[in-house]
Amino acid sequence: MVEGPTAKAHAIRISKEFNGETVNDLFIKSLKRVHVPLKEFVGKQFVNTDSLGKNILLFFNGLAIRVHLMMFGTIHVYGIEEGLLKPERLVRLLIKGDGKKLVVYNAPIVEADWAHIILNRLKGELGPDPLSKDWNREKAIENLKMFGNEKIGVVLINQSVIAGIGNILRNEILFRAGINPERTVQSLSEEEIAKLIGECETLTQQFLKLKIEEKRIKPLLQVYNNYRGTCKICGGKIRFYMQQPINRKTFVCINCQRF
């Protein structure tokens, strides 16, 4: 599953590689999420790309396309005469400009609408994004506290609380904050919540830096995918299980993250 930093890195790359292109043709596989005639995009200039949570947003003079890559989606920019690297049947979005074309494969969500409609809806549905210029840590804390009786490991992946946190970040944030994912939000002290939010900010930035540099994130990971391993901090055992009810891979140091 694409996490917030990966979506942001894609947006930054596309802004550079597709800069200045004017739409000559546009294809979207499914029209269920197309809320404006596709012909409205023709002749519009690509203005910018951004991300909000796990969503990649492409802007064209008042119009926008939202892409969510989920687990298997990919996004590429080619020269206009270049062939596709994957079978045509996998194409979900194809935008042809003057000199380049942007292609999205396998993405389950491709939405086209007026930019303000997409943005207003996403901002209403999603919590603050640590990678956004509008990041609001006080609002993030407020959102967390609204789920007082729920497990912090479950709440942290709720996109309406904090946008862009996926399962890798969830595990690493909780480990670094020394918080067991089974604890309820209301059991956390103010200091623990502040530390948790601080790790959200720090780790998403570190994750993004590696993605922009096209480097592997493995050196950043201290607990995720550490099956039957030992803690890099205390040497204790790492426990692996599937946290419920979200059924996500969870890695916990039995010493550093006592319940």
pLDDT tens per residue across span 85-138 = 899 999 999 999 999 999 999 999 999 999 999 999 999 999 999 999 999 999
Q: Which strands sit side by side in the sheet containing 55-60, from one edge to the other? A: 48-52, 55-60, 63-68, 109-114
Quote the CA–CA distance of 75 and 11 in Å, as a whole number.
10
User: Residue 43: its pLDDT value, please?
Assistant: 97
Q: What dihedral do alpha carbons 99, 33, 73, 11 form, nearest 10°?
A: 50
List Cα–Cα distances, 126 to 120, 165, 254, in angstroms.
10, 11, 32
- The structural architecture, per CATH, of the domain 137-253 is Orthogonal Bundle (1.10)
* Predicted TM-score of the model (pTM): 0.94
Tokens 């729920």 sit at which residue?
Answer: 150
Domain 4-125 has CATH 3.20.190.10: yes
User: Residue 228: its pLDDT value, please?
Assistant: 82
User: Residue 30: its pLDDT value, please?
Assistant: 84
Amino acid at residue number 180: N
User: Residue 31: its pLDDT value, please?
Assistant: 82
| Location of each CATH 1.10.8.50 domain in the chain | 137-253
The segments of the chain whose pLDDT lies below 70 read none
Q: Where are the alpha helices (DSSP H) in the chain?
A: 4-17, 115-125, 137-145, 152-155, 167-177, 190-212
141-162 pLDDT tens trace: 999 999 999 999 999 999 999 9
User: Residue 183: its pLDDT value, please?
Assistant: 98
| Location of each CATH 3.20.190.10 domain in the chain | 4-125
Quote the CA–CA distance of 250 and 255 in Å, as a whole number.
15
User: Residue 259: its pLDDT value, please?
Assistant: 85
User: Residue 148: its pLDDT value, please?
Assistant: 95
User: Residue 257: its pLDDT value, please?
Assistant: 95
Neighbours of 31 (CB within 10 A): 10
Quote the CA–CA distance of 51 and 132 in Å, as a whole number.
8
